[in-house]
Structure formats: structure tokens, C-alpha cells
Structure 1
Amino acid sequence: TGSVYYTLTSYGKRVLEEIRERNKKVPAFGVKAITMSRMEYFAPQPDWIQYAEERELLGNGFPSKAGRLYAQIASRVMRLPFINEEMREVIQSIPYDRAIPFKKIKEILGEKYNDEKLKDTLMKLDAQALIDALPEDMYVLTEAGKKIKRAIQVVPLGTKIVLTPGICRILLAINEMMGVDERRRIKLPQNLKELKNISGLSDSTFEEEFLRAKRNRFIGTNSIFESGMLIIEALLELSKIRVIWEEITV
């Protein structure tokens, strides 16, 4: 019939069960307090630990059952970014070549965002691996984040929804179908029905996201623009992010 059905992944089922048990918001920095502890040269910031403890992701210095679940998800899942107008402004305030402190980001953006709103936006960008939140309240673009920052510069100002998982799925599907030619271009496929099937989107969602990709200047009439190519490269970078997670019995 052409209908699309959505089912929960194994992680989705576990998250749903966990939400029913605790019904607590899970902040990205709270999860980062756990995942960063696996890194050799960094320790989590005190406020990240506080986030984690308040949401019961940490207890007595160790990850809780919920904390381990969300840390595993953060370490393993494929990321398909969502960027709105606010997130675009924040990511554009971070330099390509160096880390920047929170105070400087706030200074660049002026009074538009209060501390809580700005922190929340930074958490969302960090959760999508487009920026890295570092100790001492510093923030730096990831390699994928640098490509995304360049790509979204072409999006008309005032655009509320800049990049979506749907657009990402379409671009990845085009890349899978067509590949890069000798002139480093990716032409649009003639068979949009096959493209829709590979993207995994429903008819209405595919049409909406395909038009959004054109309006946002990622896709042209016959080929993908350079901005779209950058997004594909960023998505391939994000697909490599995997942290080997081993449970430690204490």
C-alpha cells in the first residue's frame, strides 16, 4: 500500500521503559559526565556531575542503570542532526580553529539568550557531536561540526528549520544511489521513488523534506550543491563515532 510503519529500536524500547520508571529529563551534559570519564585526559566538570546526580544518572560516584543506558546510546547511535535557527546562531559563533569560552559565546550573541537557554542549546549541539563541550566551560567545533557550519551558511537568514534528520536521510540516500563523479559532483537520481524508498521516509515526509532541502540550498535542479556535499561528508564523519563500552562491575 506504500504505507510507512515506525517501530522502536531496541534502544528505543529500553528508553521508553526507563522513562516510564523515572519520568526525568535527561540532559546531554549529565550523560557527558559519564562518557567523558572514559577519556584518558579529561575529567567532567562539576556542574555536569551535578546534572547527572540530580537526574539520577550517577549515584555514589558510579553510573546508575539509567546512566549506563544513556551513555551507551550516546556512544553508539548514528547521529542525524537537527538544527533550528537558534542552534545555527550558536554554532556560527564558535570559531573553526580554536575553543571558545561560554562567556565569549554569550558576548557574541548579546542579550538574545539567557544563560539557561544558551546552555541548553549548547547541550543539544554537543549531543549531536557537532561541538565538544570541554572542561572549564570551553566549546570547540568537531570535524563534523566544521563541515555543518560551512554548509548551513547558504541557508537564507530567518529560516526556522535549517537542517533535519529527513534531509540527512535524503542526502545519504542520494549519495548511496549516485556516488561522486569525476568532477566531484553528485547528480540527482531520476528515480525519486527509489530514492524515497532508500531514505525510509513516507511519501508526505519525503516530499516535505526534499522541498526543504531545495529551499535551504542543499539540493539544486540536477545535482547536490557544495553545501549538500559538506553535509554528506559530515554525516559520514558522524557515522564513525563509536566508543567501545565495557561494563565495569564494582
Structure 2
Amino acid sequence: MTVDKLALADLNFAEMCRGISRNVGGRVLEVDGLVMWSGAHPSPALINGLIRTRDTRPPADEIFDLADRWFAEVGHMYSVHVRVGKDDDLEAAARERGLKRMLDLPVMVYEGPLPDFTVPDGYTIAPVTDAAGVRDVEEAVAVPFDMPEEVASVLSRPEAVLSPFTGAVVARDRDGRPVAAAWTMVSHGVAGIGLVGTLEHARGRGLGAAVTWAVMRAGYEMGATRAALQASPMGHPVYLRMGFRDVGSYRIFADTAGH
């Protein structure tokens, strides 16, 4: 049987958003393959959004009617994660409604056993187990991601990052300062990788790949047999060298007007 790698990545991403929202007291609504999540802040960036995990269901007009009502209940804007090539009707409706196109992100999957890897000299990589470690994750990734303060404030909460079937690692320099981090959530046999970032002064040393391998190992230890992520332009060539392969892409639109 052929495995639909993109479908598994979609389901894992939906679980990530679902889990983070629930863990910080947000809301989740699921209707016939549509997943919508609403966090603790009205920003459409990551913490309020929707994705459709079934092709053409529900129809685009129904999705937007429902999303407008549901997010309006709490006064939040939202993002729409369009699966390029699968959600043409959803993309057309987003453009027609004047939603702002934010960015395109390749969806990449890694399959197979994990190789041995080395930690660059002068650094250590350790799992995150407490609130202090979560703050280190936020410190290491907020600037590289140009993360809005409201998003960083949510992701710096331990309950958002440390929950069942999640794991995180932090790389620190000789002085114990966090310089890179990565996070994973395991579902559907997939270790979904996110929050991979390296501070600018520590780049070019292989830390991004090292924390990614380390957090993938944590995901495999929780039962994953493959890994998936959405790649930034900076990260994409790194992940290709690691053995990840493109399986699709997301085009993200944002309702910044509060339709």
C-alpha cells in the first residue's frame, strides 16, 4: 500500500495546532476533516487558524462561513493553511475575500533510520524538561523566526511545549546560554518538527541540523517512523542535505481584517 506522505504530514500538523491550543486553554473545532484552532491571543500568526485534511471537504464557502462565525465569537483573526494543488477552491476563495497571502512553506518528509550525528565543538544539546528549558527554547527561536511577541508568549508556556508525545531540545554554548532549539510532536507515526531556530551569531556551525537530529531521535523513541516539517527558505537546503524530501507545500493566507 502506498503511503500518502503529505496526508500524514497534514494530519500531524493539525494535531500540533490542536494540541498547543488545547494545552493553553484555547478552543478547537473539527468538522468533517476541517480543523480550526483558536489560542489565547487574537493574532492570526500560528495560534489561530484552520487546515482542511480532506480533499474538497468541507467546501470552501462553508469553511469561510463557519470560520468567520467561530473566530468572531472571541474577536480573533485567523490564518488559512492551503495545501497547494489540493485546496485550489480554498485558495480561490481566500483571494476573492481579500485575505493576505503571507508565505509559502515546503512540506518535507524524512524516512528511514536516523544516522549518528555529532554536536559541534563548544556546544551541548540537552532535552527540555522544565519551565526554564522552555524559556530557553523561546529565547533561541523567537528572534530567528521574527516571532510576534504574542506568539512567543504562548510558546514560552510549559504547557504549550511539554505535553504527552512532545519533546524539545536546546543547544547551549560553553557559558550555558541557549543558541539553538527544536521541538517535536508525534502523531500518526510522524514526528512533526517545529520551532527549529539558531541565533545569528551561532549559525554556520551545524547546530540547526544537530538539534533537528536530536529532536527527531526523541520523536522516534516515542514511536515515530518518519519525520515531517515545514521548511523556511534558510532551512530548506539544510533539510535536503539531511535527507528530507519535498512532498508538497502550504500557502498561508491571513484574515487580518476580521471578516
TM-score, reference length from structure 1: 0.29
By relative contact order (CA 8 Å, sep 6+), the higher-ranking structure is 2
Richer in helix (by share): 1
Question: Which is greater in Rg?
Answer: 1
